[in-house]
Structure formats: C-alpha cells, structure tokens
Structure 1
Amino acid sequence: MPTVDAVVRCPIAPTFRVSQLAGMFDLPPEPHTERRFQVELPGLDQPWQVGLIVGPSGSGKTTVAAAAYGRRLRKRLRWRRDRAVVDGFDRRLSTRAITQALVACGLGSPPAWCRPYHTLSTGEQFRADLARGLVSPGKLLVLDEFTSVVDRPAARLACHAVRRALDRQTFAKRLIAVTCHEDVARWLRPDWVLRMPEGTLTRRCLRRPRLRLEIFRCRHDVWPLFAPHHYLTGKLNHAARCYAGLVDGELATFAATLNHFRPDRLRISRLVTLPKFQGVGLGGAMLDGMGSLLSEAGAESITINAGHPAVIGHCNRSAKWEFRRLYKTGRKPSGMYLQHPHWKTSAGRAVATFRWKFS
C-alpha cells in the first residue's frame, strides 16, 4: 500500500512584530515553519471505487490529497455565465450522455439544464459540478471541499445519488471526496476512509440508510411547489387526481392521474421530484407506489407516457412495468383530442409508453 509523505514548509519573515511575539510567548526563533504528514492510501491498482479523506480544517487532508493526486485534485469548476449548463460539458460528449450524467447526480430538471450555471441554487451547482467531473477525461476524480457549500440534508442526498450511480456503473470513474464533514460517510459509502489528523486508514463499506416514502392524496394547491421543476408545462388538468410523497414528513414527490374516458383506465400524467430529492430513486419509488395504490383501488389499466430519461430508465429496469411502444415523434392528436386542440399531447417529442403489470 503506497505511503504518502507530504511536507508543508513556510518561511517566517523576521519582522519586529514577529520578534516581539516570540519574546512574549517564549517562542524559539525559527527561519521557517514545517509540518509533515505521513499516511497510507490504497493504490490505484487495488479494487476500490470510492474513497473518503475526512478531517477538521487544518488537519492536512488537502495537503495529503495534493501530494498523492496532484493535478487531479479539483475544487470548483469554471462555467461560462452566458451558456446553459449542458453547454459547459466537453463538446465531444453527446447530449444524451450529458443528460444521463446530470440525472445520475440528482440534477434531473430539464429546465435547470437550459439555464446558466450561476442561476442555479447552491445544491444544483454542486450536482452540476459533480456530473461534469464524473464524465471528464481520466479514470479518477478527486474533489476538495466536497459538499462544503451545500446544506447537510441536500449533501447527504447528493452523496446517495452519486453512489447509486457508481454502483450501477453509470460512470467509468473512481471518486475520492476530500471533506471536513463526517456525515457524508454513511451516504457515500466509501470503500476506504482516511481520517486526519490521526492519519488512520480503514477499509469498509457502510450500509446506506433507507429512505421511507409515504404517499397520500392531496389537493391541487400542492402542485405550484412542483410545477417549476416539471419538464413540460406548469399546467395541471382540473380533472387530475393528485398525490404527494413525503420523506421524513417533508414534501418530496408529486404525481397526478387522469382517466382514459373510463374511471378504471388511468394514466399517470404528472410525476415530479423536488431537486433536493432527485437522483436517489424516489421518483421510481413514487411510480411503483402509485401502481400498487391504484391497482388496489380497482384500476384495470395504468399507463405512463414518459420522455424523461430517469423515468424511462426506471421502467425499463423494473419488473413491475411493461414496455408497450416507442413514439419517436410523439402521439398525434386523435379522437376527442381533435375536438379539443387545447389539450396537451406528446406530438413533436419522443415518448415511450409503459403499462403496469398486474399481479
């Protein structure tokens, strides 16, 4: 196992005030100060995916990371103020690869993808930085001040999202987080942890805490909280039945249903997760919960037309949803939709149709 030997040396200017302080506190006159850090870190030839270097400010974690990984150590990324977030990625990446990376890191709101980086919230900026770093060239990403600018609940959920994506091999990348926040360990589930200033290295993989989602019927007045984060329109059909999902008593997800001209044939018309909770699987859990809830209430058919990559990915992976058809240019208005041209359809955009499998 490689040993990192880092030395920080700084000259001391022999000024009058320095000499005065040395006399006041009986400090020995020194031409420079020096701190040495000697620690062990797992090698890049060993099997691991996520590492964590954690310790209080001034404990030497950044010094050790810089000595071990050099230029691969990053802090904040630079983004152009006159370009959308999706335009801040490597030009060689496809739009599909960029959006998949953003979704995997918990930034799953298409309206946010089209805005400049500086207009995003602090939590959204952190997730954008993370996504861009994970699809950057190279096999290792080392992030300094990891989650330092994000409130703790949002930081834990972001860690949950990125570890989930790494476990699914969404990124061909190793991640090392350098932080002063111990609380991220349970959610990031690192394969090894270096604790400073003790310099102790432990190898383990913690069990991820479980999130409990509670679904209940709600009124239309809940929708305005979720509308800005929906990737289509902020409008909600007056005939829609609304449902909200709570995590630890806090609103996290929203779903709405419409019937296909029969009360027992339902379509999930809205599915939105608030930015703070994106990337941890709550949207998929809400979708599955809605399927179970509606089928128990007597529904004979439950479908969803999805264009969002996260929804399509969940339905494709799930054994509870059956793929029915792909409409590359959307569904053209027909039947009663021709008589009501103001009704929203999927014309002009690609959507996939899935149907709930009744047990």
Structure 2
Amino acid sequence: MKIDIHHQCTDHDSYRAARIKSLFNVEQGANVHITADLPIEDNDWQIGVIVGGSGTGKTSIGKKLWRGTSIHNPKWDKTKPIIDQIAVDGSIDDATACLSAVGLGTVPAWLRPYHVLSNGEQFRANLARALADEPERLIIDEFSSVVDRQIACIGANAFAKSWRRTKGKQAVLLTCHYDVLDWLQPDWVYDTSKNEFIRGRLWQRPSITFEIYQTNWQFWHLFEPHHYLKMPLMIAATNYVAVVDGELVAHLAVSTRPGLIEARACRLVVMPEWQGAGIGMRFLNQVCEHWLNAENRYNKPLRTIFHTSHPNLATALRRNPKWTQISGQLHGGRASRALTAGGKYGGHFRAVQGFRYLGADYD
C-alpha cells in the first residue's frame, strides 16, 4: 500500500510571516508532502502501529489507510454513565466484559459519565467502546498520548490481548510514544520519523514480578475507594499486599471459617493503573497456595473459598483450572440474619458466586 499525501495552504506574506522566513531562511510553509509504503495488503495481521514524532504525518497516513474507515472518535452523552453507553445493543455482561478487558475494572467508575472520569479512565473507556463496537477495521489516533505512561503501557497490553481475541479484525494505532510497542506486541510498525517499516512480532512484553507481604488493615484505606463494596472489616483477618518496585498494587484479606475448616478470602483490589496486567489472579492464586501449604499463622493446610459478584472476575475464576465453582446465588441473604460490628450485610440483589481454590497440583 503506497500512500502519497500533499497538503497545501496559502503562502502568507504578512510582515510576521516574511520576518520569520528571513530569520530562519525558510522559503515557505504552505506545502507538506508525505509518502509512506505500507506492505499490509495481505491482511495477515491484527495490530499495526504507526509511531513517530509530532508533525511527522501519523494522522494524515491514518486517514488514508482504508477508504470508508475514519479515525475512531466515540461520542459520549454527558447525562449517562459509561455503563449505559457501551455495548448498548448487548447485555450488561457484554458491557462489563469490555470494561474489564481493557483494565477499567473499578466499578464506581462505571457509574460516572465520561466527562468526569480521569484521563486514564477516559483512555480505557474509549478502548472499551472500540471493543464493544467490534469494527472490522479500527484506527485510533493519539493512542495513549494524554495518560500517565504506567497506565498507557498496562492499558496497551490489556487492549492488545482483547483485540487479538476478535480473530480477523484489524486495528492500527497512531502514537508518538515508543514505550507502548513492547506492551502491544504489534504485527508491524511504521516509524514516520525514520520512514521505516518493520514486519513481524519482534517486541516482547516486559514481565511483571511482584512481592507479597503479610500485613494488617493499615493499607486498606488506599485500596477501599476502588472496591465495589462498602462493608465492615473482616474480623481476625490476615492481610496481604502485592508490591512492584516498592509500589502497592494489590490487596487481599483472608480469614477462616469457624472450626478452621477452610480459609475465606475477600477484599481483592488491584490499583486502577495496574488493572489489565494479570496481577490480580496471580496474586490471589499465590496467597491461596500459601494457605494450602500451611503457610499461615495456624500452620495448617487450608483450602480457600472466595465469593464475588464481579461478573468478569467470576468468569476468570471459572476458566482457571485451579478453581472450582461451589455456589451461585441471585441475591444475598436477609440482612437481619447477618449483623457485624459496625454494620450489616445481606439483603442485597447481587448475584454472588462462590469458588474454592483446588491448588496448583490438583488432579
């Protein structure tokens, strides 16, 4: 695919324009010529990236890629929460799946209009809309340009994994940031600054390693705003946090059922900027494995049960061979039966699903 673009405007002759031409020895700025050779007609790819500095022609090339395919620019209604504007012709599970797939798993954010979200949340919401709309061909301009680089990289990784599941659909991302390439692992890259085309998945996603520390509720106030339930603290719980390079990224609390029959885990939270990196499930599994191996304050091997009403977390647990589903309720129990210190639980209409950790070596 050969692209030839010629932009032209009036060659202004005002005093300031003439002065600038004289000062910098520039004859004119009215003509811009951009050429690019992109051998992508074979369609044997899913993700391509056009990267380069500002003003090097990324957007112009993007507009000329496919006739009839414009740059993705979703419109958002300020009077509706984003959950009502994603997968509008599908089910609520379709909408939450798209949001979770791109790492926007903070439930309170789903209930806000787009314009009040943070830059990082808006970035992921736009990606969720792109997944939900399921276009055969997708072009996104200024990909990750206005967000923190941590959010950009994790969000890029989450989007790439989800887009590759679409099978046969193609996306071209236009960006001035080279740091997302390793996380996207694109099938091809065209660098407008170097006029260079590279084919083949030559980029490798950096590995994310984390350390687990046992603690108490002292860090919960940092995670609580991102948890979808407001409940009293668990009594006699052991808390764990996952840390990446000194940064708190995830939290989990574990207590026991009466008689030390089983452990019970809850309050799993992954910080928004790390959602979509796959840390949550790995963290949960490792803590549960510790308890199964008697690495707890009771020195007793205990299987762990875990309940959630988050539809996409439940889906992930069902897919994981280390877990088995043990229950599924359409609503909670009567609130009057379950009083706790400082509050009560039950009496809700959440679809709560329960799972038991079987272990890494379960046969």
TM superposition score normalised by structure 1: 0.90
Whether 1:316 aligns to 2:321 is no
**Counterpart among 200, 203, 213 of residue 204 in structure 1:** 200
Contact 2:52 2:193 in 1 (8 A): yes
2:154 is aligned with what amino acid?
L
Q: What is the deviation of 1:60?
A: 1.1
Q: What is the deviation of 1:93?
A: 2.7
Q: What is the deviation of 1:125?
A: 1.0
Match of residue 297 from structure 2: none
Match of residue 54 from structure 1: 51
**Counterpart among 97, 104, 108 of residue 105 in structure 2:** 108
Q: The residue matched to 2:204 in structure 1 has which SS?
A: coil
Q: What is the deviation of 1:20?
A: 4.8
Q: What is the deviation of 1:230?
A: 0.8
Q: What is the deviation of 1:23?
A: 5.1
Q: For the residues of structure 2 that align with 1:131 and 1:223, how far apart are their CA atoms?
A: 28
Match of residue 144 from structure 2: 147
Match of residue 187 from structure 2: 191
Q: For the residues of structure 1 that align with 2:149 and 2:136, how far apart are their CA atoms?
A: 28
Q: For the residues of structure 2 that align with 1:174 and 1:158, how far apart are their CA atoms?
A: 18
Contact 1:268 1:304 in 2 (8 A): yes
Q: For the residues of structure 2 that align with 1:14 and 1:233, how far apart are their CA atoms?
A: 65
1:47 is aligned with what amino acid?
D
1:180 is aligned with what amino acid?
C
What's the CA shift string for 1:52-108, capped at 9, x where partnerless?
100001111111111224664436543222211112335313211111000000000
Contact 1:164 1:280 in 2 (8 A): no
Match of residue 31 from structure 2: 34
Q: What is the deviation of 1:17?
A: 4.0
Match of residue 275 from structure 1: 272
**Counterpart among 43, 59, 62 of residue 65 in structure 1:** 62
Whether 1:12 aligns to 2:11 is yes
Match of residue 285 from structure 1: 282
Q: For the residues of structure 1 that align with 2:87 and 2:307, how far apart are their CA atoms?
A: 31
Whether 1:240 aligns to 2:237 is yes
Contact 1:75 1:145 in 2 (8 A): no
Contact 2:46 2:168 in 1 (8 A): no
Whether 1:98 aligns to 2:100 is no
Q: The residue matched to 2:151 in structure 1 has which SS?
A: helix
Q: What is the deviation of 1:216?
A: 1.3
Match of residue 80 from structure 2: 83
Q: What is the deviation of 1:151?
A: 1.0
Q: For the residues of structure 1 that align with 2:116 and 2:168, how far apart are their CA atoms?
A: 29
Across the aligned residues of Structure 1 and Structure 2, the Cα RMSD in angstroms comes to 2.4
Q: The residue matched to 1:253 in structure 2 has which SS?
A: strand
Distance 1:243 1:172, change over 3 A: farther
Contact 1:37 1:60 in 2 (8 A): yes
Q: The residue matched to 1:156 in structure 2 has which SS?
A: helix
Matches within 5 A, 1:171-182: 173-182=169-178
Gap regions ≥5 residues in structure 1:
none
Match of residue 132 from structure 1: 129
Identity percentage over the alignment? 32
**Counterpart among 199, 205, 214 of residue 217 in structure 1:** 214
1:134 is aligned with what amino acid?
L
Gap regions ≥5 residues in structure 2:
295-299
Contact 1:135 1:171 in 2 (8 A): no
Contact 1:165 1:171 in 2 (8 A): no
Q: In terms of mean alpha carbon deviation, does 86-95 or 307-316 score higher?
A: 86-95
Match of residue 358 from structure 2: 357
Contact 1:158 1:279 in 2 (8 A): yes
TM superposition score normalised by structure 2: 0.89
What's the CA shift string for 1:225-263, capped at 9, x where partnerless?
111111111532242221111122210110011211123
Q: The residue matched to 2:97 in structure 1 has which SS?
A: helix
Contact 2:46 2:187 in 1 (8 A): yes
Q: In terms of mean alpha carbon deviation, does 183-192 or 281-290 score higher?
A: 281-290
Whether 1:123 aligns to 2:120 is yes
